[in-house]
Amino acid sequence: MILGANTGSAAGALRSLVSGKAPSQVVKSVHAVKGVSLTAYEGDTIGLVGRNGSGKSSLLRAVAGLLQPSSGDVYTASQATLLGVSGALNKSISGNRNITLGGLAMGMSREEVEAMRQQVIDFADIEEFIDMPMGTYSSGMQARLRFSIAAARKHEILLVDETLSTGDTEFRARSQAKIRELSGAAGTVFVVAHGHAMIREVCNRAIWMDKGIIQMDGETNAVLDAYEADVAAKKAAKEAKDEGK
């Protein structure tokens, strides 16, 4: 998978403006994910681990159809849903209206939205704030609302990216229980989270990625133990190198 990024300088833009010529652009190709091949099955809850920039989120976006691979293909039995619906939500309107907006964005009918409205409010625990603009919510409240809207509908393939790292301990516990419920309902769930304890708790499988490449794919504890040992070894090597300077 190749992501393109245009780079240039303000001075170059100014020169082109004066000369009337279009600015030249340099396109830098970044291989976010390379040579990834995997199969996920119904009932799998898969945790993706790796350092920042290892390709975890790019892989999820490719599965969701939000990034087009430069080579290879992604096949899914149904449309994958990337949690949450933040792109559809509007901070200038109330949480209540955002429930409607988010539900419709997920393809629900207005009747289905009304049927799940109170469930979303209760799960997000924002009853007293539900008619206030979403922009007045704390980041934790916004995350709870996004998760609650997305989790109110059964998804055959659900992709969760870092959402569960936000919120208080009680909400994280309820979120984890909801993830287990969703995966137990013959669905497939991918989870990206900094908290390895949560991945150990809810995932039956883990994939360790580094520099866009899958380093290990297997049983959750085995993969996490190997990844954490690698992180510790590299940290120790760096500290030893720094001490030797």
Give pLDDT tens digits for 143-184: 889 888 888 887 788 888 765 555 667 887 788 788 777 767
Q: What is the pLDDT of residue 16?
A: 38
Per-residue pLDDT reduced to its tens digit, 197-207: 889 988 999 99
Residue 26 and residue 147 in one domain: no
Residue 161 and residue 150 in one domain: no
Residue 163 and residue 245 in one domain: yes
pTM, rounded to two decimals? 0.70
Residue 164 and residue 182 in one domain: yes
Say how far apart CA 84 and CA 163 lie, in whole Å: 8
Residue 26 and residue 49 in one domain: no
6 forms beta bridges with 27
Say how far apart CA 55 and CA 214 lie, in whole Å: 9
Q: What is the pLDDT of residue 205?
A: 96
Say how far apart CA 109 and CA 102 lie, in whole Å: 11
Say how far apart CA 177 and CA 191 lie, in whole Å: 13
Decide which of 32 and 33 is more confident.
Answer: 33
Residue 116 and residue 193 in one domain: no
123 burial via Cβ count (<10 Å: 0-12, 13-18, 19+): buried
Residue 1 and residue 21 in one domain: yes
No. of helices (H) and no. of strands (E), the chain = 8, 8
Residue 57 and residue 177 in one domain: yes
Residue 53 and residue 140 in one domain: no
Per-residue pLDDT reduced to its tens digit, 44-82: 999 999 998 898 988 988 888 888 888 888 888 888 877
Domain that holds residue 183: 39-80+155-245
Q: How many domains, the chain?
A: 3
Q: How much is the mean pLDDT over the chain?
A: 81
Decide which of 33 and 231 is more confident.
Answer: 231
Residue 162 and residue 240 in one domain: yes
